[in-house]
Structure 1
Amino acid sequence: MLKFLLLEDSPLDADVTLATLIDGGIDCELWQVDTRDEFVTALEGDRFDLILADYALPGFDGASALNIARSICPDVPFIFVSGSLGEELAIESIKQGATDYVLKQRLERLVTCVYRALREAQGERDRQRMVRAVRESEARFRCFAKNSRDVIWITDAREYRLIYVSPSYEEVWGRSADEIYRDLNNFLDSLHPEDRDRVCTSWQQCNQEVVIQEYRVIRPDGATIWIRDRGFPIRDEAGNLLYIGGIAENITERKQAEAEREQLLERERTAREEAEEANRIKDEFLAIVSHELRSPLNPIVGWTTLLQTQKLDRDRTDRALNIIARNAKLQAELIEDLLDVSRILRGKLSLNLTKVDLARIIQAAIDTVRLAAESKSIQIQTTLEPNISMVSGDSNRLQQVFWNLLSNAIKFTPAEGLIEICLENLGSTARVTVSDTGKGIDPNFLPHIFDYFRQENGATTRQFGGLGLGLAIVYNLVQLHDGTIKADSLGEGQGATFTVELSCTNSFPQPEPNLKSELTEDLSGIEILVVEDNRDTREMITFLLEQYGARAIAVDSARAALNTLTHSQPDILLSDIAMPEIDGYMLLRQVRALPPERGGNIRAIALTAFAGEIDYQQAMSAGFQQHLAKPVEPAKLVKAIISLTMNNE
């Protein structure tokens, strides 16, 4: 078992040091001392394989401990383990004879340093044994050298000539030893060109002191290996220099491991920085989401309270209702943006491809934003080339693309500004550009303009609202259409230009059958079972359906719905999904298990706040014919009911 001496005044730090050594597989006995006298007594009274020392102790410092150790046992490796050793002090300590140093904050290096120190100490002892072997018996020396994996070499100190190199040279270098016996310059020729001059300079010091250096060797097969070479002077008893010897160790595997470790650490640092940045961006985004979703609630709650508690005149009432409707629509649009992002990220956003006239799509988008532009006296100029070929696309999603681009342009363009939208034919490609005279885009932010969860200004003092998801959604919608989009800006205050390119084609998918012309908004004669656990929502839906002529049976649970079906045969089941005890999915499965005469084949619509693509698929799998997301426009709900009724006729 190895015996280590530890100079340390902290019992806790001593325990941590011992635990680290044991965990590293070092079987050792650790003697702890904390005063100068104890340190000297231990060194004089016993033999240690290694000395570990703190640098700062009460009344005793590491430099003094090092000097004492060098005088009593100069061949024992000495490693500082300290929490207060600066870089300059550490370098000076190495110069004074310390083997290495380890910061307590990075104690994971200790095991590696100990192994290296022990290995170097062993190497030093090997060197001394080699010198004795040369003096005592050349035969014994050659036997030792022959069985060493390291390359042992000896040169004449007065002549530039190799006297001996161990057989392992040919295995490590991949060259014949005869080459360097014949001419030692052949050794230099084997070195990597970048290391050659440094090695030559360092070896000149070997006649005075031990020189340790690492260099690369290029083998004849082209492989590059790393060598750690320890050169030293060999003197006679009178101190006269006779030879220069050395031990060369192949450390290629260690170097590769170090390089891989550094690469891994760098990747980990990069990944950590990226993760921290992503978390910061997401936290900032969530704060914006909270703000933007709460903001419309303020006028909704405020005006609702006033309508309930105050007697407002007709004009003020109409204004209040308009404000409530506008902010409710704004909140619905924010939620829809979030749902679009969720669908895109999960690859669940699908397109209904038909033949699309881009000019009409652009004009529809302009009509949608015209009032917003007029409120800021912003002029929208259009240049739409005639006879542009049709594109294959989803008309609603393409209108969403250009509506977003125009809305952004209006948002970031000051009053009395100018927005230009141009549609031009590039042969097989249609190009749409949207340019504005607005605030422009910072060049540093431009590469991130289409990123999720990124806004140029996420501070609480930002001037422009919104979630900042619009351009990310636009980018992905264009990608889904096999198109391209790019953003250009000369900088802040210089406006911005967005360019969309879509491929024209003569081959189009068949459009979905359009039942719009066949639908009316009359639900007379239709009996609808409404299942909704929220009282306010249940009352609103019931009132809405009755306004369109339907007979509505409203219940607050799945059990009540199943009970209703025992004595009633409604035409449509309109059910929420998230309900206590039995949810909408389980309700419909139980309904479908009923015989047809008891409503087992009833047509069913899921009306739910679970609005993702996966929720749609789950509703269809459960047996619903349609899936509508809350909040739902009354007209959309009525059309869904009529559509189900007509499809069943």
Structure 2
Amino acid sequence: MPDNPLTALVVVAEEAKRLALHQLLTKAGFKIRSASNGADAIRLAKEIPDIIILDLHLPDLSGFEVCTQIKAQAATAVIPVLHLSDGPVECGDFDHHLERGVEAHLIHPVEAGDFLASVMALLRGRQLKRQFNAFLEVAPDAVVIVDHTGKMVQVNGQAEKTFHYGREELIGQDVELLMPERFRERHKAQIAGFVAQPITRPMGPGLKLWGLRKGGSEFPVEISLSPILDQDSVLIASIIRDVTERSRTEAALHISEIRYRRLFETAKDGILILDTESGKITDANPFMSELLGYSHESFLGKELWEIGLFSDKVANEAAVRTLQDLGYIRYEHLPLETSRGQLVEVEVVANAYQEDDHKVIQCNIRDITERSRLEKQMQEQAVALKDLHRRKDEFLAMLSHELRNPLAPITNAVRLLSFQKHEDDLKHQARTIIERQVGQLTRLIDDLLEVSRITTGRIHLQKERIGLNGIVERAVETARPLLDRHKHALIIALSPQPIWLQADAARIEQVVVNLLTNAAKYTTDGGHITIAVKREGDQAVLRVRDTGVGIAPELLPHIFDLFTQAERSLDRSQGGLGIGLSLVQRLVEMHDGKVEVESEVGKGSDFVVRLPVMATPTTQSASPQPRALSRTGPSLRVLVVDDNVDTAQTLRMLLKTTGHDVFTAYDGPTALKAVLDFRPNVVLLDIGLPGLDGFEVAKRLREDPSLNDVVLIAMTGYGQAEDLQRSKEAGFNHHLVKPADFEKVCKILATVSKQAN
């Protein structure tokens, strides 16, 4: 603010207008005195302000009367008066107005630049040079004052910044220096015309005007012109506003509008624009017409319910209210009828947003008829796939049952042959072959069912604290016959210290057996296989390495996939279904571990299993020992029930050789009668029986209190988890899957015999 600020008396009745002028003049460096009526204006004028801003409309006196009284006093007559009115003044009044001493007149609302230009003119007339310069310097726009010949006589600091010239470079130069060459010639004539008719020309839209910076760059400007009467000559005050940024914004907005319109016109979704207040459609894009078959004009002025988006006007108004409150709404799977009577399914997303000075609603309408059809098709396929999985599981269970049934009598018969005291070499060799192949077939059936259980998440781990060394020893014992048959050399390197896992012992043993079996099958006879166990940090590491054929690079990424096998000859001498390694990976991952493989063709394979270890227990449990054949003890009465006569007969013969009294039945009703007649200690009962199935037979037996002590053993080809659960619910004490391990049967009978005696 200047050291000796000028004082401006602002006489305006309207408070908002008075405050606005107050702020503008304060920023320009003035000290402000205010009045809202004529009487106060006349009183404050006696303080001799430097300028009076006088409104025409005051509550007590008119601006004319106030001006007349101020000019009538010698002390206040010299104060310049700038008159403001809200509209044009009659010529007679204006002339009378000038006669009363008003130096300038402006119509409100007036641009800040025009207002300041008028104030500048009045101050110039008072030759308040210092204050005038201060006023000039705080002006927000460039100010250039020229004489009647067009030479610059004064510029402000903003003009220097705008045009990149120093003040000394501009004073005395033609003002055309600041405009492009193409405008200069006609500008001289324009100056002469303005001097002849010096009327304020306010800033605003009109001709496109351009300024020229010192470096030669052009920029868009807006200009207001105000005459300044300087004794006998006329000066021209130009207020020049750089509108580069505004022009860029307007250009960007224009481009944005073009892009929006292009998107609007070409979008493959229907778009409706609605007025928020009325809810009526104001615009619709071409795709909307294409979707429903109506013309653009037929949409305009309608509400959404009238084009079928809502069932009635009430629902339509509720949706519009929701949009007004929340600004967003979404509907899915709305039916919409086209002009052709065809129903299409649409998804509607609507947003309310501000556009200029009012709110609008934009509705995006997407035809999802095809998507819904595909979703329905996918759902149907999912149901069909689920049914296919169910039927697959049923098939596997049935396949298992049908394959196990003939295996049972074969297994029993082979066991009977082993009881012969004088077996020649040929018979021994034949029996061994049968035992081996029956075992292989049993494992294949088990693998099929196992992978089905794992892939469908129906397997539950029975985790306990186990020692990995002991598990490996048992697995080696299980795989030993296959290793010996192929004459492989097996190197075992166990950990010198116990490694403890929280794991399912049977499943980890299955992992090790599968890896050893895989190594044995894919290593040429007489090869070397190494199994090693060690601890690395918090992990137990199990490694199975062989000197076999190796794995082809293209097969390596898929080696753990189901039914993946290395290329083999037509004789399929290695056997298997390509399930073992997939089971290994899935079982290891179920224990929070991982399995990896490295291999080169012709150089063997190296499988590495990593499992999390657990803290060492305070007492070490004894490792499970291989089970010896149990003796059955004192004789029992045993009923064997199976519709497969061979199975029933061979099992009867086996049990007789161990000293039991055995009776057979071949269907459900006969079994019920035999139990009542024979009063057995144990019933070995098949499930798939004619007449009554095994479950029903068991339930009826359990209904008789006199038979509570009879031990029921299910012997069946069905081995899924749900089969075991049904056996338990029916009242069975044990569930054995065919071909049942005769050692397990003997062990159960021994327990029953011990309890009976």
Q: State the distance in 1 between where 2:668 and 2:381 align.
A: 49
Residue 536 of structure 1: which of 634, 646, 659 is its match? 646
Q: Are positions 1:189 and 2:256 aligned together?
A: yes
Q: Are positions 1:497 and 2:606 aligned together?
A: yes
SS in 2 for 1:566: helix
Residue number in structure 2 paired with 1:429: 539
Q: Are positions 1:590 and 2:704 aligned together?
A: no
Q: Is the 8 A contact 2:347 2:368 kept in 1?
A: no
Q: Is the 8 A contact 2:461 2:503 kept in 1?
A: yes
Q: Are positions 1:577 and 2:687 aligned together?
A: yes
Letter in 1 for 2:510: Q
Q: Is the 8 A contact 1:354 1:510 kept in 2?
A: no
Q: Are positions 1:606 and 2:673 aligned together?
A: no
Q: Is the 8 A contact 1:532 1:538 kept in 2?
A: yes
Deviation at 1:466, TM superposition (A): 0.7
Q: Deviations over 1:241-261 (max 9, x none)?
A: xxxxx99x9999799847995
Q: State the distance in 1 between where 2:627 and 2:268 align.
A: 84
Residues 1:214 and 1:409: Cα distance change in structure 2 (over 3 Å): same
SS in 2 for 1:565: helix
Q: Deviations over 1:192-216 (max 9, x none)?
A: 6xx99xx79xxxxxxxxxxx85599
Identity %: 29
Residue number in structure 2 paired with 1:633: 741
Deviation at 1:512, TM superposition (A): 13
Q: State the distance in 2 between where 1:513 and 1:641 align.
A: 25
Residue 502 of structure 2: which of 386, 392, 405 is its match? 392
Letter in 2 for 1:408: N
Letter in 1 for 2:539: T
Deviation at 1:401, TM superposition (A): 0.9
Q: Is the 8 A contact 1:440 1:489 kept in 2?
A: no
Residues 1:336 and 1:518: Cα distance change in structure 2 (over 3 Å): closer
Q: Are positions 1:483 and 2:550 aligned together?
A: no
Residues 1:574 and 1:363: Cα distance change in structure 2 (over 3 Å): closer
Q: Is the 8 A contact 2:347 2:367 kept in 1?
A: no
Q: Are positions 1:347 and 2:429 aligned together?
A: no
Q: Is the 8 A contact 1:483 1:500 kept in 2?
A: no
Q: Is the 8 A contact 1:354 1:511 kept in 2?
A: no
Residues 1:486 and 1:595: Cα distance change in structure 2 (over 3 Å): closer
Q: Deviations over 1:32-52 (max 9, x none)?
A: xxxxxxxxxxxxxxxxxxxxx
Deviation at 1:383, TM superposition (A): 3.1
Q: State the distance in 1 between where 2:719 and 2:700 align.
A: 23
Q: State the distance in 2 between where 1:264 and 1:495 align.
A: 52
Letter in 2 for 1:440: G
Q: Is the 8 A contact 2:632 2:753 kept in 1?
A: no
Residues 1:267 and 1:517: Cα distance change in structure 2 (over 3 Å): closer
Deviation at 1:497, TM superposition (A): 2.5
Q: Are positions 1:506 and 2:615 aligned together?
A: yes
Deviation at 1:314, TM superposition (A): 2.9
Residue number in structure 2 paired with 1:471: 581
Matches within 5 A, 1:285-296: none
- Tell me which moved more, 639-648 or 581-590: 639-648
Q: Is the 8 A contact 1:592 1:601 kept in 2?
A: no
Residues 1:547 and 1:493: Cα distance change in structure 2 (over 3 Å): same
Deviation at 1:402, TM superposition (A): 0.6
SS in 1 for 2:459: coil
SS in 1 for 2:576: coil
Residue 666 of structure 2: which of 553, 556, 567 is its match? 556
Q: State the distance in 2 between where 1:475 and 1:547 align.
A: 43
Residue number in structure 2 paired with 1:406: 516
Q: Are positions 1:623 and 2:690 aligned together?
A: no
Residue number in structure 2 paired with 1:526: 636
Q: Is the 8 A contact 2:593 2:612 kept in 1?
A: no
Residue number in structure 1 paired with 2:339: none
- Tell me which moved more, 636-645 or 182-191: 182-191
Q: Deviations over 1:323-377 (max 9, x none)?
A: 1111111111111112222332343434444432212222332344345335445
Deviation at 1:555, TM superposition (A): 1.8
Deviation at 1:540, TM superposition (A): 0.8
Q: Is the 8 A contact 2:451 2:583 kept in 1?
A: yes
Residue number in structure 2 paired with 1:332: 442
Q: Deviations over 1:132-163 (max 9, x none)?
A: xxxxxxxxxxxxxxxxxxxxxxxxxxx9xxxx
Residue 546 of structure 1: which of 632, 648, 656 is its match? 656
Q: State the distance in 2 between where 1:516 and 1:648 align.
A: 27
Q: State the distance in 2 between where 1:517 and 1:324 align.
A: 22
SS in 2 for 1:578: coil
Residue 362 of structure 1: which of 462, 472, 482 is its match? 472
- How many residue pairs get aligned? The number is 413
Residues 1:346 and 1:625: Cα distance change in structure 2 (over 3 Å): farther
Q: State the distance in 1 between where 2:527 and 2:737 align.
A: 38
Q: Is the 8 A contact 1:413 1:438 kept in 2?
A: yes
Q: State the distance in 1 between where 2:256 and 2:266 align.
A: 17
Residues 1:330 and 1:587: Cα distance change in structure 2 (over 3 Å): same
RMSD over aligned CA atoms reads: 5.2
Deviation at 1:464, TM superposition (A): 4.0
Letter in 2 for 1:628: L
SS in 2 for 1:329: helix
Q: Is the 8 A contact 1:519 1:642 kept in 2?
A: no
Residues 1:375 and 1:604: Cα distance change in structure 2 (over 3 Å): closer
Question: Where in structure 2 are there 5+ consecutive unaligned residues?
Answer: 1-207, 209-245, 274-282, 289-295, 301-345, 349-362
Q: State the distance in 1 between where 2:541 and 2:698 align.
A: 48
Letter in 2 for 1:614: E
Residues 1:635 and 1:268: Cα distance change in structure 2 (over 3 Å): same
Q: TM-score, normalised by structure 1?
A: 0.53
Q: State the distance in 2 between where 1:266 and 1:566 align.
A: 60
Residues 1:485 and 1:460: Cα distance change in structure 2 (over 3 Å): farther
Q: Is the 8 A contact 2:447 2:579 kept in 1?
A: yes
Deviation at 1:454, TM superposition (A): 4.1
Residues 1:610 and 1:190: Cα distance change in structure 2 (over 3 Å): same
SS in 1 for 2:743: helix
Q: Deviations over 1:43-75 (max 9, x none)?
A: xxxxxxxxxxxxxxxxxxxxxxxxxxxxxxxxx
Q: State the distance in 2 between where 1:380 and 1:449 align.
A: 23
- Tell me which moved more, 183-192 or 493-502: 183-192
Q: Deviations over 1:90-122 (max 9, x none)?
A: xxxxxxxxxxxxxxxxxxxxxxxxxxxxxxxxx
Letter in 2 for 1:188: I
Q: State the distance in 2 between where 1:263 and 1:493 align.
A: 54
Q: Is the 8 A contact 1:342 1:612 kept in 2?
A: no
Q: State the distance in 2 between where 1:364 and 1:580 align.
A: 41
Q: Is the 8 A contact 1:337 1:469 kept in 2?
A: yes
Q: State the distance in 2 between where 1:444 and 1:490 align.
A: 11
Q: State the distance in 2 between where 1:519 and 1:324 align.
A: 20
Deviation at 1:229, TM superposition (A): 9.4
Q: State the distance in 1 between where 2:558 and 2:430 align.
A: 39
Q: State the distance in 2 between where 1:348 and 1:379 align.
A: 38
SS in 1 for 2:634: coil
Q: Deviations over 1:539-578 (max 9, x none)?
A: 1111111111111121222222222333332211221111
